[in-house]
Amino acid sequence: MIMLRKITLENRRDLFRLEVSEDQRRFVASNLSSVASCYVLATNGGHPFPFMIYADEQPVGFVMLTYNITGYDLPTIADESYCILRLMIDRQYQNKGYGREAMKKIMAFIRTFPAGPAQYCWLSYSAENAVAKKLYESFGFRDNGEIIHDERITVLRL
């Protein structure tokens, strides 16, 4: 069973050990960098929601959600929208359905509107990352035609 759990003093080292495969490192920032970004966002008016992804009691991935993201180049629909800023599944747990199950939990959490109301959820991905594109489209995300820093913007109406 997949669960999203807050990062704690007890599980933070497990988070930093999670890594994508070598060929995927160009698609996602390290978890340490992402946690640092959470601090920057939180101290600049944003609302980050970092979670470890667990399969039962085993940490298998990380997701960083945001609301009212600031300090980045943003798509036109970013204001008062949720963003899946980072999503990764550790290399040894990929291709086992954990990413899909995690997305179900992520979308359920976003739809509780924990930081405020929103019409959209958005994310960006590299056009070279066909696996990510397929996953996001299966949840109803659609490219909106914007490209920021060589990444496509894909949007879901909540």
Of 40, 99, 28, the closest CA to residue 66 belongs to 40
At residue 81, φ and ψ (nearest 5 deg) are: -125, 155
Residue type at position 148: I
Q: pLDDT by residue (tens digit) across 58-102? A: 999 999 999 987 667 889 888 889 999 999 999 899 889 999 999
Residues facing 54 on adjacent strands:
3, 59
| Architecture category of domain 2-157 in CATH | 3-Layer(aba) Sandwich (3.40)
d(CA 69, CA 129): 23
Higher pLDDT, 151 or 20: 151
> What's the pLDDT tens digit per position in 87-142?
999 989 988 999 999 999 999 999 999 999 999 999 999 888 888 899 999 999 99
